[in-house]
Structure 1
Amino acid sequence: MLLRPDLPQWRRIRAESLPLRVVDAAAAARAAGDWRGAAALALCDVDVTFDPGRFGAEAVAALQDDLRHLSLDLLRWHLPRHRGGMSTLQPMVSAVLAPRAGADTAPLIRVRLPKSPTGPQRLQLTVTTMNDLDNERWYVAPRHTWDVRESAGVRAAWGGSAERMPFLTPDGLPLPPDFAGTDEAFETERIYRQLIAGDLVGAWHAAGIDVSAVETEALQRPSAPPTLPVGVAEEARAAAAAFGQDQVSTLYGASLRLTVADMTAEALDVSEYLEVPVRILTGSVPPDLALIAAGMQRPGDLHPLVREALFPSTMAEHGAPVPMSTAAPTRVRCQGVWHRVEVTGGALRLHGHDEEEQLRERMLRSLGGTSSGCYAVQAAWTTGTGRLPRALADQVREVKHRMQHGDTAWLLDGLTRGVIDPQMRDANGWSLLHLVMWVDFAQVLPVLLAAGVPVDARDRIGRTPLYLAVMNGGPPDLMRRLLAEGADPRAETVHGAYPAHVARSRQYWQDLAFVAEA
């Protein structure tokens, strides 16, 4: 049994993480005492006020101290991802950054993950209490995943020791044959080897958790790698102690209720997650270990704090962002010969066809005619319907992924240099205006509108940029800007839905009355 997570998916996730230049800028802001600026760089919206009258001066002081040492870019690195093969964050869940004790009454830092896997990948930071979390899916984020003072704890959490980290080898084994380490590291190796042999129960027992009363189905999600129990007992005890509880439950990897006094487990139905509200994450082998073992990631690619914990002697340099290069021209078979097609000067250029011929082709297409050769490529590029040559399809994919992960500077650089065409569409028929909810729309929206992208551009089923923003938890200020630019709040899809109607059903997540009443 191989222990690896989905390596292609995680390779994309890591490639699309916050650029190291942004991580460095956030660290500089944090060192200067500007934790809010560091949060903004990590694509997190902050809504925090300090009320000593509600929580007491001592609790507020402890909260402020945690915020000064909070690395949201590090937390992003550790956040759960969507399980459908995407590279976006797991939606509709919150990470609670609990204090070491008294969390049942103290103010809690809550980081809300996005509403939708296809929506903006921004986080939301608020202060809350355990009582306010009654009907919400949340988990306790260990301090090594967000506190810069304790980030070195990732080494022990992943089964390491003072001597070395237990790395996976390309054949799926955790350690090289000549490994010589501490007793703790050998214990971790035993857990790994039992999982490889298919002995899930034995692996959990070796990790100090009695699962004898649990069916093995509760230890592993269907069609997923086995859940790795390394560090689960320690994390469960820490979460239980922080909240003054005697039980915690697990989220995602395994479905268990853990009693911390004797560390025994019972199966927990996923629909009963509110019954044991204090939850911890479980999952497969840490993807970074698996990627490094497979040669798909280098130590220098890791988040700097994770790299320092695992490879303290490794000095990895990273510099300025690599701008999008001009895509190489693509050859298209057209009218019996090969023509060049490329994005340059801010548009898809068809070499071998003059402007008069292209105008005639557009007129014929508007009358219902079909296109072939270069014109079929042009139609697919501007509508999303049809096949694109691989190089152009890769460019569409790269632009979409970069936008989805909030890389505004990269997008604006490409638009300015003319190597990104503002009229391009993806396979859904989404224009860049549909995707603008993912980036800093205040900078990008005027550029796209000036380039002639319609404010009510329709995708293949009639959804407009305003509709997608409402449906996927986009920024309300973006919706206001779209409405001010003339977006139609009653523009119907092929299914008869429209933005104002959808806004009324999304009030539980955002106050969208201004759209519903538009």
Structure 2
Amino acid sequence: MASHFANDLPPHLLMWQRVREYAVPPSMIETATARHAAGDWAGACAAARVDADLDLRAVRDRHGTELTSRLRADLRRLAPDLLRWHMPRIAPDGRLRPGLTIPLAQYGGYGDRPSVQLVVRTPPARADAGQRMSLSLWEGPGDSTWGHHPHPHPDRRFRLDLHRHLWDRTRSGELARRCGSPDQDSPWAKGSWAAEAELLLRAERRPRGAFTVRLGARGRAVLELVAPDDSHVPTFRPLPYDLPPQEAAALPVLPEAAARLLPDLELLRSGLITVGRLHPLVAEALTAVGSPAQGPAPAGPAPEPHDPHRVRCRGETHRIALRDGALTAIDHHPAELRREELLVALGGPALPCLRAIDAVHRNPEALPAVRERLGHGDVSGALAVVEGLLGPAAMLRDGPLRQELESAAARRVDHGLFRAGLVAVHPAATAQRPRLDRHTPAALRSKRGSRPRPRTGLL
């Protein structure tokens, strides 16, 4: 891709391009699909790095057989890899939006109990190693099962119970008519807001009326769904009067999945992705109603150097290649290499071949790809890249590559502690803050009072 073309693209599209390349690798889709075909929904969740915190026997004892049957049917229809594909993400790295509880389906409570919801949760940012998600039940306001989660209650803005086509493989074909118009320049799917708002208000058991749409991190639009009568298609318009902030906050919120255009359509229109690189269910849904408009085909990756690599060493061209599971200079005798390595250990100069091997071990050209895979939790993919470069028998040396792998391993411990409930709050939350009184300098008081609340970038 030409550099000037890439610089003209919005940053969120470049982020989504990296997400589509690394966040849901083809190996995950293939494994999850194979396990689902075998009837193993739990195995499919494990392949998509989704922890199933569900005990169907306990659910049957608490809520009855009917609710359990509906839950089991939804679990069998669940495509966890498709769910991961459509999960909300944050800038700039495109990781899962942390600390969310997203409802997937709602079930009536047993007896006089409140409604039960199937939810998927994302861990807080401090424990997001592996980018794992968890599947569980939310049994009402008194449910304290996930008390250590920062936001255990279902989120009104990020909800997928009204968008089953984003996780239910039997309804994925609805994506084409509910993803917005692909020929608009705005990332907002305003053409479908009226229809989606009607579904929202119907689910909230409200007549046609006011609702809100979150426009980014701070913006909000208060709209009204209107129609002359039930025989006319409803439309929306800005609310003709201002509401107090408390009343506006209590209005139904149009889900983010309905408010925004599907990122895949924007990527196709910009030429940053092809249909063949989409999730199979997404590609099938978008091509079933006609081929979506595509921009110029993205430039392929730079051609990788062929094996063996070639290095100028002592006035000659020498080869470096994988032999016996490790990267080695094949034009040097093993005894000579051992002598040269000993000379380097004693402080002497290294051969160009050995310098090239050392550079690949410490800071290879593929380090950004390894870092992206580790950031999205694809440890096996990152290790496959490393083994392809250095060989399975290589010993990592100190440098950026080893630091990235060690950091990823250490962060998995934080996620395990969070899952076990051993770290209920962030350590910084328990730190003692200095008390403000009349002896506090005025400059410090004004600085503490005017500190803005940090916000996570919204896509």
Indicate the TM-score class for this superposition, using the shorter chain for normalisation. 0.5 to 0.7
1:119 aligns with one of 129, 135, 140: 129
Give the Cα separation in 2 of the matches to 1:336 and 1:241: 78
1:375 aligns with one of 354, 364, 377: 354
Question: Which residue number corresponds to residue 66 of structure 1?
Answer: 74
In 2, are the aligned partners of 1:105 and 1:130 still within 8 Å (CA)? yes
Unaligned regions of 5+ residues in structure 2, if any?
A: 1-7, 227-235, 292-303, 427-459
Distance 1:341 1:397, change over 3 A: farther
Give the Cα separation in 1 of the matches to 2:308 and 2:276: 32
Question: Which residue number corresponds to residue 441 of structure 1?
Answer: none
Question: Which residue number corresponds to residue 159 of structure 2?
Answer: 140
Kindly state the Cα deviation for residue 143 of structure 1 after the two structures are TM-superposed: 1.4
Distance 1:90 1:49, change over 3 A: same
2:284 aligns with one of 293, 297, 308: 308
In 2, are the aligned partners of 1:381 and 1:424 still within 8 Å (CA)? no
Question: Which residue number corresponds to residue 436 of structure 2?
Answer: none
1:261-283 per-position Cα deviation (integer Å, ceiling 9, x unaligned)? 666578999xxx99889672267
**4+ runs of 1 displaced by more than 6 Å?**
265-269, 273-279
2:402 aligns with one of 419, 423, 430: 430
Give the Cα separation in 1 of the matches to 2:190 and 2:135: 29
2:256 aligns with one of 258, 273, 281: 281
In 1, are the aligned partners of 2:82 and 2:167 still within 8 Å (CA)? yes
Distance 1:111 1:294, change over 3 A: same
| SS at 1:468 equivalent | helix
1:470 aligns with one of 413, 422, 425: 413
Kindly state the Cα deviation for residue 434 of structure 1 after the two structures are TM-superposed: 2.7
Distance 1:434 1:136, change over 3 A: same
| Larger Rg over CA atoms | 2
Q: How does 1:69-108 map to 2 (within 5 A)?
A: 69-84=77-92, 86-99=93-106, 105-108=114-117
Q: What is the Cα-based RMSD across aligned positions, in Å?
A: 4.7
| SS at 1:126 equivalent | strand
1:424-476 per-position Cα deviation (integer Å, ceiling 9, x unaligned)? 469634368637x6xxxxxxxxxxxxxxxxxxxxxxxxxxx4x33334x2589
Q: Confirm whether residue 231 of structure 1 aligns to residue 192 of structure 2.
A: yes
Give the Cα separation in 2 of the matches to 1:82 and 1:422: 35
- The amino acid of 1:124's aligned partner reads S
- How many residue pairs end up in the alignment? 372
In 1, are the aligned partners of 2:188 and 2:260 still within 8 Å (CA)? yes
Distance 1:151 1:58, change over 3 A: same
Kindly state the Cα deviation for residue 125 of structure 1 after the two structures are TM-superposed: 1.1
Give the Cα separation in 2 of the matches to 1:69 and 1:124: 17
In 2, are the aligned partners of 1:236 and 1:248 still within 8 Å (CA)? no
TM-score, with length taken from structure 1: 0.57
- The amino acid of 1:108's aligned partner reads Q
Q: How does 1:30-41 map to 2 (within 5 A)?
A: 30-41=36-47
In 2, are the aligned partners of 1:252 and 1:281 still within 8 Å (CA)? no
2:378 aligns with one of 391, 396, 406: 406
Question: Which residue number corresponds to residue 455 of structure 2?
Answer: none
1:181-218 per-position Cα deviation (integer Å, ceiling 9, x unaligned)? xxxxxxxxxxx36x4xxxxxxxxxxxxxxxxxxxxxxx
In 2, are the aligned partners of 1:29 and 1:38 still within 8 Å (CA)? yes
Question: Which residue number corresponds to residue 158 of structure 1?
Answer: 179
In 2, are the aligned partners of 1:257 and 1:268 still within 8 Å (CA)? no
In 2, are the aligned partners of 1:91 and 1:115 still within 8 Å (CA)? yes
Unaligned regions of 5+ residues in structure 1, if any?
A: 160-165, 168-173, 175-191, 196-225, 316-324, 385-391, 438-464, 480-502, 510-518
- The amino acid of 1:250's aligned partner reads R
2:32 aligns with one of 17, 20, 26: 26
Kindly state the Cα deviation for residue 11 of structure 1 after the two structures are TM-superposed: 3.0
Question: Which residue number corresponds to residue 347 of structure 1?
Answer: 326
Distance 1:88 1:341, change over 3 A: farther
- The amino acid of 2:192's aligned partner reads G
2:50 aligns with one of 44, 49, 57: 44
In 2, are the aligned partners of 1:425 and 1:432 still within 8 Å (CA)? no
- The amino acid of 2:52's aligned partner reads V
In 1, are the aligned partners of 2:212 and 2:253 still within 8 Å (CA)? yes
Identity %, equivalent residues = 28
Question: Which residue number corresponds to residue 15 of structure 2?
Answer: 9
Give the Cα separation in 1 of the matches to 2:47 and 2:39: 14
Kindly state the Cα deviation for residue 31 of structure 1 after the two structures are TM-superposed: 4.8
In 2, are the aligned partners of 1:92 and 1:113 still within 8 Å (CA)? yes
Question: Which residue number corresponds to residue 388 of structure 1?
Answer: none
Distance 1:231 1:469, change over 3 A: same
- The amino acid of 1:46's aligned partner reads A
